[in-house]
Amino acid sequence: MGFFISDAMAAPQPAAGAPGFDSFIFVLLLFVIFYFMIIRPQSKRQKEQRNMVEALGNGDEIVTNGGLVGKIIKAGEVYLSVELANGVEVKVQRTAIAQVLPKGTLKTL
């Protein structure tokens, strides 16, 4: 009965060695995708935030990360004095500024 069933012949396996070039290309492609989709946009946002914080000065109307809205009345290197309402002044760190508002947004101060 052996003539009805042929012997199974497996293809010879390549020798186990270093990962192939295709694996390297795949890892490189993943890194390029991560760079353009995650790393580059995040560093661009950080640079814009840093430039905005460095450009703050007296009279700028700002919003803090905590949601306080006010006008800068005194700008130091690290801290800003912000007037929230008439006679209400707080000190915040420069890094706590989330957004600079257009001039004239705060008319109640």
| In a domain? residue 1 | no
Q: According to the model, what pLDDT value does residue 12 have?
A: 65
Please give the structure tokens belonging to residue 41.
């946009």
Q: What CATH number did the domain enclosing 72 receive?
A: 2.30.30
The mean pLDDT of 13-37, rounded to a whole number, is 81
Binned at pLDDT 50, 70 and 90, residue 55 comes out as very high
User: For 109, which DSSP code?
Assistant: -
Binned at pLDDT 50, 70 and 90, residue 3 comes out as low
| In a domain? residue 82 | yes
| In a domain? residue 4 | no
| In a domain? residue 38 | yes
pLDDT at 6 over 90: no
Q: E-strand spans in 1-109?
A: 61-64, 69-75, 79-85, 88-93, 97-101
| In a domain? residue 107 | no
| In a domain? residue 66 | yes
Q: According to the model, what pLDDT value does residue 102 have?
A: 92
Out of 2-6, 9-13, 54-58, the most confident range is 54-58
Q: According to the model, what pLDDT value does residue 4 have?
A: 63
- Judge whether 92 and 64 are in contact, CB under 8 Å: yes
Show the domain range for 52: 22-101
Domain count, the chain: 1
